[in-house]
Structure 1
Amino acid sequence: MSGMFFSIYYTSLEILGANDEIRERRSDFENSEDERRRSRIGSLKKKAINASNKFTHSLKRRGKRKIDYRVPSVPIEDVRDEREESAVLELRQKLLERDLLPPRQDDYHTLLRFLKAREFNIERTIQMWEEMLIWRKEYGTDTILEDFEFEELEEVLQYYPQGYHGVDKEGRPVYIELLGKAHPSRLMRITTVDRYLKYHVQEFERALLERFPACSVAAKRRICSTTTILDVQGLGMKHFTRTAANLLAAVAKVDNCYYPETLHQMFIVNAGPGFKKMLWPAAQKFLDPKSIAKIHVLEPKSLGKLLEVIDASQLPDFLGGSCTCSAEGGCLRSNKGPWNEPEIMKLVHNAGATVVRQVSRGRTSDTLTAESGSDVDDHCSTSGRRSSAPCLAPVHEEWCSFLVIIFLYLCLCLWNLC
């Protein structure tokens, strides 16, 4: 009996020993795993700390907050007249004193445009500027891109063909209207003068924020004006309606009072012989020399002169170029231009700028470097503080002058001189 007891006892000890040995091995294995796990975690921590330190050092070294490092820097040349710059600084100071300079409008080229519109008379410019600010507030211009939707646009374009298409040889956007193919009476069946005017203002604001800045990046020089082509082929008495007059008058007021001095040059094309021989000389008596210098009248056989300022690839075939935009439904539907290039628009939406100023012989040359997401001063402002709107604007200019021309043209149509 005792032998059996000791046998069981020793067997139990062997089992216990074996269990202890298993536990020790398991403990050793677990300890080893823990050490390896701690080692891996430590290694990952070191890598994370090193990466963080490198990133922090990089930010400190650059002194800028980066949003998208893949967007490269682009230099933009901006040449300024020293005397004009002095006038802009004087105007800016007076506007600040009168609390008339919101950050959105605190912009060198915007101020300069208004000064030019009032022949650099400071007080008259301030009056015009104040009226513009009142109108923008009442009209809701600052938010019109988000607040207004022109659902009838496609139908409107059928009865008033128009649109941006490409750029001229200096990088300015080209805007085209086929006035002879417009149908004012049909147009007013699908929209109203008020709604169309809102669309017109919306397009101005879109150009301020997108089209002109995109052209500046693409051309690597400051773009502040447009080249406009007005095709008058087919224009006649059917276009001279009260509705058309009201629409043009409303557009003219907006353009001349609130977006002045944005036209580089205007081409009136496909004009009949009577237009150039009789109408244009008569119209010049009503225009100032500055407006006359901007307007060029071309007969159908003279369309080739457009190629002197616009490359054939940027000009629609119906105006003597080689572009058709067949995949987009025609050139006036394509909205072709740098504002449709994704890489350019990255710069437009994320760009800041560093200004390096040099003054020489009465001229100021600013070399501007647009860089994505950098916390530096706005490249258009003389204030040195960041501005949310670029210094550019779109399409129509000298519309009052053009209305005089159209009126005389229609008079000639009555007498069958065209």
Structure 2
Amino acid sequence: MSEWLDAYDDVRERRSDFEVSEDERRRSRIGTFKKKALHASNKFTHSLKKRGKRKVDYRFPSVSIEDVRDAKEENAVCELRQRLLERNLLPSRHDDYHTLLRFLKARDLNVEKTIPMWEEMLNWRKEFGADTILQDFDFEELEEVLQFYPQGYHGVDREGRPVYIERLGQANPNKLMRITTIDRYLKYHVQEFERALHEKFPACSVAAKKRICTTTTILDVQGLGIKNFTRTAASLLAAMAKIDNSYYPETLHRMFIVNAGPGFKKMLWPAAQKFLDAKTIAKIQVLDPKSLGKLHEVIDPSQLPDFLGGSCTCSDEGGCLRSNKGPWSDPEVMKVSHASSVIFFFYDMFFILVSFI
């Protein structure tokens, strides 16, 4: 661990040097860390040339977490990171391999196109207050909101990803806006994204023993009709789609729209696609009521609520969408998760520093 701490100190020194002058930053690149990392750098570079992917194992006292990395993606992350540092666009809290990779994937690994997207995200986070929203925002009307917009995380899929469920057919936009506002609901939406990134994904990674960075989402549209698509609903949907696509890209692995009848497929689904980008649409599978069984191919029935063809009711928790069922609710998993986040940080710092050599 002392070596990782030394590496972290060198990271801080690099950033301090960058703020002072470009010349000093260049000199820091050939400083004390180079002597420690040169051998590792040679091995790392050789491994990228030799194989298309690398499998990294993060080992903790009770679990080993696998992280498979693609050589082309790693090179793109290295380039993007250096370009962002040169522009002073890489705050330490966002200096994370998988965060950088998500934005690169949203722009097909094109660094030039990723930089303005990243800068827009930083400006938005500052204006919106996203960095502190987990501590600063209290969505006190949540219980009432759930009555008119049932939703929540429940369990994991067969690969360990968190499952997020919305019952859109039971949503009532008019009554929802009597309880909250669009601005407050969007703050809650962002807060849940931050909670997924900082709590749910790390906990699922520990439970699955491999790096988890995306979700499986289920939208239940049974009962959905024109009545649900008010002007308020359209405004809310458009605002959430903007946030999802621009500021939290590539966090969706797959989506199922279930209980979709002929009316939804002919009228509502074409209208909804106007709010989605092509990449997101490609991840969506629309299932009619007779095809719910296909969910079992990717989600064990014990992890599915009974209203989606599963065996879970969470009767002691007030229902599945209020139970918050998942690895993130296990105290023992969360202990390991908090420890693993530190190790992930030090490994990524090592990877990043080696890339400078």
Bin for the TM-score computed over the shorter chain: 0.7 to 0.9
Residues 110-134 of structure 1, C-alpha deviations (whole Å, 9 max, x = no match)? 1111111112221221001011111
Q: Are residues 163 and 63 of structure 1, via their aligned partners in 2, closer, same or farther at CA, if it must alter by over 3 Å?
A: closer
1:413 matched residue in structure 2: none
What one-letter code is carried by the residue in structure 2 that aligns with 1:136? Answer: R
2:132 matched residue in structure 1: 143
Distance across 2 between alignment mates of 1:319 and 1:152 = 26
Which one of the candidate residues 83, 97, 109 is aligned to 1:120?
109
Is the 8 Å Cα contact of residues 150 and 199 (structure 1) preserved in structure 2? Answer: yes
Provide the secondary structure at the position in 2 that maps to 1:227: strand
Q: Are residues 283 and 153 of structure 1, via their aligned partners in 2, closer, same or farther at CA, if it must alter by over 3 Å?
A: closer
Is the 8 Å Cα contact of residues 107 and 382 (structure 1) preserved in structure 2? Answer: no
Is the 8 Å Cα contact of residues 225 and 262 (structure 1) preserved in structure 2? Answer: yes
What one-letter code is carried by the residue in structure 2 that aligns with 1:107? Answer: D
Q: Are residues 133 and 279 of structure 1, via their aligned partners in 2, closer, same or farther at CA, if it must alter by over 3 Å?
A: closer
1:395 matched residue in structure 2: none
Distance across 2 between alignment mates of 1:144 and 1:265 = 26
Q: Are residues 283 and 192 of structure 1, via their aligned partners in 2, closer, same or farther at CA, if it must alter by over 3 Å?
A: closer
Q: Indicate whether 1:383 and 2:349 are aligned.
A: no
Is the 8 Å Cα contact of residues 377 and 384 (structure 1) preserved in structure 2? Answer: no
1:235 matched residue in structure 2: 224
What one-letter code is carried by the residue in structure 2 that aligns with 1:179? Answer: L
Deviation at 1:255, TM superposition (A): 0.8
Q: Are residues 156 and 352 of structure 1, via their aligned partners in 2, closer, same or farther at CA, if it must alter by over 3 Å?
A: closer
Is the 8 Å Cα contact of residues 269 and 303 (structure 1) preserved in structure 2? Answer: yes
| TM-score normalised to structure 1 length | 0.67
Q: Are residues 228 and 63 of structure 1, via their aligned partners in 2, closer, same or farther at CA, if it must alter by over 3 Å?
A: closer
Q: Which structure dedicates a bigger proportion of its chain to helix? A: 2
Provide the secondary structure at the position in 2 that maps to 1:271: coil
Is the 8 Å Cα contact of residues 109 and 380 (structure 1) preserved in structure 2? Answer: no
Distance across 1 between alignment mates of 2:257 and 2:165 = 10
Is the 8 Å Cα contact of residues 228 and 265 (structure 1) preserved in structure 2? Answer: yes
Q: Are residues 92 and 246 of structure 1, via their aligned partners in 2, closer, same or farther at CA, if it must alter by over 3 Å?
A: same
Distance across 2 between alignment mates of 1:287 and 1:150 = 27
Distance across 2 between alignment mates of 1:123 and 1:104 = 22
Q: Are residues 293 and 348 of structure 1, via their aligned partners in 2, closer, same or farther at CA, if it must alter by over 3 Å?
A: same
What one-letter code is carried by the residue in structure 1 that aligns with 2:230? Answer: T
Is the 8 Å Cα contact of residues 157 and 216 (structure 2) preserved in structure 1? Answer: yes
2:86 matched residue in structure 1: 97
Provide the secondary structure at the position in 2 that maps to 1:323: coil
| TM-score normalised to structure 2 length | 0.78
Which one of the candidate residues 262, 265, 275 is aligned to 2:254?
265
Deviation at 1:285, TM superposition (A): 11
Residues 80-128 of structure 1, C-alpha deviations (whole Å, 9 max, x = no match)? 1111111111101101111111111111111111111112221221001
Unaligned runs of 5+ in 2: 7-59
Deviation at 1:73, TM superposition (A): 3.6
Q: CA RMSD in A?
A: 2.8
Which one of the candidate residues 244, 251, 258 is aligned to 2:240?
251
Q: Are residues 192 and 270 of structure 1, via their aligned partners in 2, closer, same or farther at CA, if it must alter by over 3 Å?
A: same
The 5-angstrom pairing of residues 22-33 of structure 1 reads none
Distance across 1 between alignment mates of 2:276 and 2:240 = 19
1:33 matched residue in structure 2: none
1:304 matched residue in structure 2: 293
Deviation at 1:347, TM superposition (A): 1.4
Percent of aligned pairs with the same amino acid: 76
Q: Are residues 132 and 282 of structure 1, via their aligned partners in 2, closer, same or farther at CA, if it must alter by over 3 Å?
A: closer
Is the 8 Å Cα contact of residues 108 and 381 (structure 1) preserved in structure 2? Answer: no
Unaligned runs of 5+ in 1: 1-58, 65-70, 355-369, 371-375, 386-418
Deviation at 1:140, TM superposition (A): 1.4
Deviation at 1:383, TM superposition (A): 2.1
Deviation at 1:351, TM superposition (A): 2.8
What one-letter code is carried by the residue in structure 2 that aligns with 1:93? Answer: Q
Deviation at 1:283, TM superposition (A): 8.3
Higher relative contact order (CA 8 A, sep 6+): 1
Provide the secondary structure at the position in 1 that maps to 2:292: helix
Deviation at 1:282, TM superposition (A): 9.7
1:318 matched residue in structure 2: 307
Is the 8 Å Cα contact of residues 378 and 384 (structure 1) preserved in structure 2? Answer: no
Is the 8 Å Cα contact of residues 103 and 249 (structure 2) preserved in structure 1? Answer: yes
What one-letter code is carried by the residue in structure 2 that aligns with 1:377? Answer: F
